[in-house]
Each structure stands twice: as structure tokens, then as C-alpha cells.
């Protein structure tokens, strides 16, 4: 009898434990995110975590249409100066406080006024937020802003618990409280971020995991090895050199989507004392550096031809790309001549780079190419969050960094190139560029907007505060036991209706 009882207990324990274990998802990230506060953060991997942690007012479809999330519907006034949104009535924050119109107002106020906020330029068109009902909010704009809904599909639209932000202030990111499908459990820097399913989530029936653990593993080879061994269930940013290997592995799945963003070298022009150097002071030198590079060769050597060479914030396939300035061919002699005109036969330049194998290889190729034109490039390898911190603080000359891209073209350029842009780490400032990019925000006519972006490109192609290199394709690898994953061009991992087979 005792043996039968023990067997029954073990069987019961197995039936309880097995589903729980089977519903724990492990995702390998290329880097460790920075602070988990949507108002302060800037990393791509941080946005991947937010896709599970923080719902937004609106979201996008795989073909970039804007759809409801926390807002159920919206309408614009005829003059484009008022946006009215109706909100979900069945959503709440992870701390149990309700999501409502007052919460939306508090979130916009924080994005605009928190001293540390990086969202200020994204929501600066909002003159006021009026609560017109418990679940209705009206945004009054200073001028028409064609980009606002797209901003609300990203960090500017992520809703945080007003109770938590009031209590924690700038320290909110240590224990974020949002309203997404998973709530925060713990974070161990450089090791893991753990989330667990939010029992009161409004769309909980579409969520099939009890826990999600994000594991930063910068080495692409190690990340893939962990997937193959079963220590990971999926990874983001599979190395281009591993695509064929994954496609031929029957135990793995492959997914890809062309990105909206870019990778390049951000140059310190006026961000503190380190911006006062020839590379930052003279656009001719930056033009010479750009001409020393063979972007097609970089794509072939480093990325197996999977990515797209680039020289603008938009990929050549984008309707916003300025065809008057195609990707330049390498011209070492012209690069040498420009450097000579600037007064140098050779020049030392320090560029910081993330300490992962792919970006390191990229910059080693750049280093070798630039050397032929007279540039002595010193590479400073750094952990990615530290790299961004130094970049923000102005403690750099050049920084190899990218941007994951946004649905609206404004998101790829305005906050980087306007004098007070929230992520303008170059501290580039040209009033004419500000004027053009602000005007592009105010029109809903795409032809008018395109003309403004093209006029700004006429200036930026010479000033080169960012030397663009390529546009990547987002590549994921998944265990064959998973199903339901959909690849999005913003590179996010959305877990609605994703599950184990």
C-alpha cells in the first residue's frame, strides 16, 4: 500500500511539474539590455524584452500596418491637430493598478518631463493630454505630426504603472512594472532577465509560456551551440555565416525579415572634449573615411552577402531612400586626396565596438580598408551597454553602433540629427536640417515628406555625423519543438500564440 501511495504521489508530481517545465521559454540575446525603463533605454535587445513586458498603445503587423493594442481605436481631427483614442477597459498593470486614461496622461507627462527621458523628441509635438472619459484620451498637438502613431507603436507608447513610476522615479528600471503578457521577476546583469506570465493579462489565452528567461550571450558561436544543446529554445540575430548550417539542421527552424534600420559609425562632433579632434571637426576627413570603404565587400566578407550595403538611414529598398546618392563605390585615391586637403597624410582614429565576434570582424575589415587611405584605426572593444554609456557621455571619437529602425522614416533620423534629438550622441547641430526634419513631421503627404528628407540628405551626405555601412536582415533560429513564431521587420519577438508543439 505504501509503495502504491508513493507511486501515485510521484505520478501526480510528474503531471504537475512537466507542463510547468515545458512552458519555460529560454531566449538567447546578442547583448545585455541597458536600463529596463522605456523612457530611458535605447538598446535593441531592451525592446525585445519590452515586447513581452510592456504593452503599447498600438502595435504593428508584419507588413507594418498600425493596429490596436491598449488603444482599441482612434480618430484624427480634420486639421490634424487632435488625436482621440479609446482605450481597453480590461487591462491592468502588473502591480494591480488599473490601466485607464489617467495612466496614459501620466505616461506622456513622464516621457516629456522626466529629466533622464530619451523620448522627449518623439513626443514633443504633444501640447496637451486631456482625459475625456475614464477610457478615452485626447492628444492636442502643437502642429500636425504624421509620426505620432508610429511613435506610440514603440517605447513612447509603452504604458508604465503610474504608481510605480511615482514611487521609483529614475530608478524605475530596476524593477519595471508594465501591463504586458509577462511581469518582471529578476535581473542579474550580464546573466539573465526573468519574466513570468501575468495572470490578469487581457489577452492571456494567447500566451502559452509560464516563464520567459532572456540570456545575453554575445558570442554567436556559443549562442548557437546553446540552442543546439537544448539550453536555449530560440535565439535572435543568428550570424550570417551560420545560416546554411541552421537551414540544413532538421532539429532547428530558421526565420528572417529584412530590417527597418541600419548599422554605421557614429562620430563625436561636439559631445564634450573628445569631439574636438580632426575626425570630429572636419567633414572632409569623414568623407575620406567613408570613401575608403568597400561596402559590397564588407557585406560579402562579413555577412555572406545576406545583408544590404548602405549609406543612408533607410535601406536602398525603402521608398524613403534618396536615389540621388547611391551607395558609393570605394575610391582610395579620392579618400587620400580629401585627407590631404584636410592637412593630413595619415590620421589616428579610435572607434569603439561591441565585444561580439560579428561586430569585431566587421570593424577589423573596416580597419584594414581605411588603413589603405591613411587612417590608423584603433579598435576599442567594449561590452555593449558600456559602449552606449560612453557614447552618450561623449567619451568616444567614433562608435560602431546601429539602429533597429522604425515604421515611420522619422524614427530613423530625427532624434539622431536634430540639435536636441534624444539620441543625438554626435551633438551634430544644423538649423537647416532641424527645419527640414521638423517640416517632414508636419505633413501627411508622403511626397512632401520625401522632398524634405531628400533636402536634408543633401546636407547630411556631406556632414556625415553617422557613416552608414549596411542594413541587416533579422535572423532567428528556433528549436523544432516551437511553433507559431512570426518574423517581424522590426526584429521584435512577439510571443502571442507562440508555443511548444
CATH at 211: 3.40.190.10
What is the distance between the alpha carbons of residues 120 and 422, in angstroms, rounded to a whole number? 6
**Would you state the pLDDT for residue 363?**
98
What is the distance between the alpha carbons of residues 237 and 246, in angstroms, rounded to a whole number? 12
160 plus 218 within the same structural domain: no
Q: How many domains does the chain have?
A: 3
- Three-class secondary structure of residue 13 per DSSP: helix
Q: Is residue 49 part of a domain?
A: no
- Helix and strand numbers (H, E) in the chain are 16, 21
**Would you state the pLDDT for residue 112?**
98
**Would you state the pLDDT for residue 317?**
83
Q: Is residue 244 part of a domain?
A: yes
273 plus 369 within the same structural domain: yes
> Which strand (E) or helix (H) includes residue 364?
helix 357-371
Q: Is residue 7 part of a domain?
A: no
What is the distance between the alpha carbons of residues 497 and 204, in angstroms, rounded to a whole number? 10
276 plus 382 within the same structural domain: yes
What is the distance between the alpha carbons of residues 246 and 242, in angstroms, rounded to a whole number? 6
Q: Is residue 175 part of a domain?
A: no
Q: Is residue 149 part of a domain?
A: yes
60 plus 125 within the same structural domain: yes
Phi, psi of 400 (to 5 degrees): -80, 110
Cell of 36: 529596463
446 plus 369 within the same structural domain: yes
Domain boundary among 132, 165, 198: 165
408 plus 480 within the same structural domain: no
Query: DSSP assignment of 125-178, as one string?
Result: TEEEEEEEETTEEEEEESS--TTHHHHHTTGGGB---HHHHHHHGGGGGGS---
The domain that holds 426 is classified in CATH as 3.10.105.10
**Would you state the pLDDT for residue 63?**
85
**Would you state the pLDDT for residue 132?**
98
Nearest to 30 by CA among 447, 464, 359: 359
What is the distance between the alpha carbons of residues 176 and 194, in angstroms, rounded to a whole number? 12
What is the distance between the alpha carbons of residues 275 and 288, in angstroms, rounded to a whole number? 18
Q: Is residue 393 part of a domain?
A: yes
Q: Compute and round to an integer the Cα radius of gyration of the chain.
A: 24
pLDDT in tens, 384-404: 999 999 999 999 999 999 998
271 plus 215 within the same structural domain: no
- Three-class secondary structure of residue 83 per DSSP: strand
- Which residue stretches of the chain have pLDDT < 70? 1-22
Phi, psi of 326 (to 5 degrees): -65, 165
**Would you state the pLDDT for residue 3?**
41
120 plus 267 within the same structural domain: no
295 plus 357 within the same structural domain: yes
Provide the domain limits for residue 197. 22-33+180-259+474-500
136 plus 27 within the same structural domain: no
Residues contacting 6, CB < 8 A, separation 6+: none
Q: Is residue 44 part of a domain?
A: no
**Would you state the pLDDT for residue 80?**
92
Q: DSSP assignment, residue 420? A: T
Amino acid at each position: 500500500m505504501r509503495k502504491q501511495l508513493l507511486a501515485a504521489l510521484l505520478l501526480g508530481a510528474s503531471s504537475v511539474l512537466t507542463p510547468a517545465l515545458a512552458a519555460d521559454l529560454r531566449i538567447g540575446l546578442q547583448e545585455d539590455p541597458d536600463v529596463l525603463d522605456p523612457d530611458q533605454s535605447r538598446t535593441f535587445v531592451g525592446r525585445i524584452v519590452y515586447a513581452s513586458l510592456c504593452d503599447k498603445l498600438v502595435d504593428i503587423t508584419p507588413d507594418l500596418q498600425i493596429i490596436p493594442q491598449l488603444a482599441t481605436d482612434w480618430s484624427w481631427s480634420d486639421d490634424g491637430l487632435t488625436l482621440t483614442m479609446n482605450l481597453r477597459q480590461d487591462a491592468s498593470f502588473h502591480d494591480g493598478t488599473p490601466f485607464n486614461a489617467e495612466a496614459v496622461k501620466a505616461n506622456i507627462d513622464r516621457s516629456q518631463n522626466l529629466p533622464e527621458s530619451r523620448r522627449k523628441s518623439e513626443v514633443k509635438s504633444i501640447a496637451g493630454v486631456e482625459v475625456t472619459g475614464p477610457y478615452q484620451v485626447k492628444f492636442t498637438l502643437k502642429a500636425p505630426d504624421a509620426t505620432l502613431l508610429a511613435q506610440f507603436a514603440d517605447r513612447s507608447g509603452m504604458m508604465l504603472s503610474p504608481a510605480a513610476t511615482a514611487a521609483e522615479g529614475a530608478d524605475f528600471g530596476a524593477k519595471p512594472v508594465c501591463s504586458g503578457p509577462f511581469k518582471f521577476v529578476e535581473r542579474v546583469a550580464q546573466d539573465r532577465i526573468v519574466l513570468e506570465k501575468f495572470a490578469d493579462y487581457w489577452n492571456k489565452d494567447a500566451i502559452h509560456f509560464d516563464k520567459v528567461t532572456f540570456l545575453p550571450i554575445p558570442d554567436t558561436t556559443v549562442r548557437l551551440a546553446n540552442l543546439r544543446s537544448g539550453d536555449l529554445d530560440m535565439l535572435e540575430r543568428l550570424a550570417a555565416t551560420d545560416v546554411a548550417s541552421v537551414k540544413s539542421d532538421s532539429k532547428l527552424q530558421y526565420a528572417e525579415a529584412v530590417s527597418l534600420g541600419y548599422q554605421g559609425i557614429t562620430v563625436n562632433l561636439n559631445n564634450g572634449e573628445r569631439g574636438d579632434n580632426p575626425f570630429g571637426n572636419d567633414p572632409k576627413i569623414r568623407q575620406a573615411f567613408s570613401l575608403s570603404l568597400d561596402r559590397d565587400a564588407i557585406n560579402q566578407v562579413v555577412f555572406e552577402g545576406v545583408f544590404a550595403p548602405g549609406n543612408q538611414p533607410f535601406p536602398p529598398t525603402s521608398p524613403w531612400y534618396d536615389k540621388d546618392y547611391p551607395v558609393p563605390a570605394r575610391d582610395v585615391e579620392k579618400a587620400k586626396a580629401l585627407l590631404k586637403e584636410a592637412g593630413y597624410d595619415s590620421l589616428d582614429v579610435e572607434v569603439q565596438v561591441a565585444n561580439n565576434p560579428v561586430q569585431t570582424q566587421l570593424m577589423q575589415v573596416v580597419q584594414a580598408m581605411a588603413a589603405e587611405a591613411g587612417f590608423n584605426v584603433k579598435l576599442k572593444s567594449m561590452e555593449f551597454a558600456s559602449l552606449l554609456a560612453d557614447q552618450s557621455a561623449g567619451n568616444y571619437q567614433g562608435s560602431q553602433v546601429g539602429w533597429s529602425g522604425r515604421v515611420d522614416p522619422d524614427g530613423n533620423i530625427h532624434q539622431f540629427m536634430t540639435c536636441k534629438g534624444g539620441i543625438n550622441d554626435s551633438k551634430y547641430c544644423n538649423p537647416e536640417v532641424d527645419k527640414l526634419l521638423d517640416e517632414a513631421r508636419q505633413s501627411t503627404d508622403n511626397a512632401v515628406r520625401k522632398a524634405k528628407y531628400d533636402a536634408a540628405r543633401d546636407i547630411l551626405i556631406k556632414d556625415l555625423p553617422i557613416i552608414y555601412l549596411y542594413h541587416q536582415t533579422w535572423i532567428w533560429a528556433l528549436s523544432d519543438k516551437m511553433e507559431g513564431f512570426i518574423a517581424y521587420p522590426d526584429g521584435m519577438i512577439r510571443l502571442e500564440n507562440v508555443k511548444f508543439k
